[in-house]
């Protein structure tokens, strides 16, 4: 035996669910499809890790690192061709920590806040070209 109430509810819910899915898909597409930053994690018992990657043209590689206030963060960046990659470090509130993109290859500093710190690696120019980089991140 059919339940008329169930048919009414399903008939009202299904179109609403489809509408929500379509709206969410459109919102995600408008976001540009930007990927989440890669989380930097340390192997158990270590305080240092090395990351390798490539950036081309105006591409950027993004990383996030959870750290605590008072910890010392050390970042060393090398690239091929030499100095063809730079990085920017942003604090938990998008604080620039005095670092700009133009000439950063090394950083050592005591962190002012607990939270996620964002590291973006890019080429210092948006011209065509490829840079292979290795970034060493240490936390003490």
Average pLDDT over residues 15-44: 59
For tokens 């090398």, the residue is 78
Give the other-Cβ count within 10 Å of 105's Cβ. Answer: 16
Average pLDDT over residues 71-87: 93
Least confident of 7-16, 30-39, 76-85, 88-97: 7-16
**pLDDT reported for residue 138:** 97
Cα(3)–Cα(131) distance, integer angstroms: 65
With a cut of 80, say whether residue 3 has pLDDT above it: no
With a cut of 70, say whether residue 34 has pLDDT above it: no
**pLDDT reported for residue 102:** 56
CATH topology of domain 38-139: Jelly Rolls (2.60.120)
Q: Which structure tokens are listed for 40? A: 């930097």
């Amino acid at each position: 035996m059919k339940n008329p109430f169930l048919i009414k509810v399903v008939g009202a819910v299904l179109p609403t669910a489809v509408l929500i899915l379509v709206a969410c898909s459109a919102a995600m597409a408008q976001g540009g499809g930007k990927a989440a930053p890669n989380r930097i994690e340390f192997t158990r018992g270590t305080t240092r890790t090395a990351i390798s990657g490539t950036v081309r043209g105006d591409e950027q590689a993004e990383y996030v690192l959870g750290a605590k206030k008072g910890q010392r963060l050390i970042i060393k960046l090398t690239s091929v061709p030499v100095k063809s990659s730079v990085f920017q470090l942003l604090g938990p509130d998008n604080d620039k920590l005095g670092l700009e993109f133009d000439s950063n290859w090394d950083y050592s500093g005591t962190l002012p806040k607990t939270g996620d710190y964002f590291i973006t690696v890019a080429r210092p120019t948006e011209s065509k070209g490829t840079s292979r980089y290795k970034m060493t991140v240490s936390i003490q």
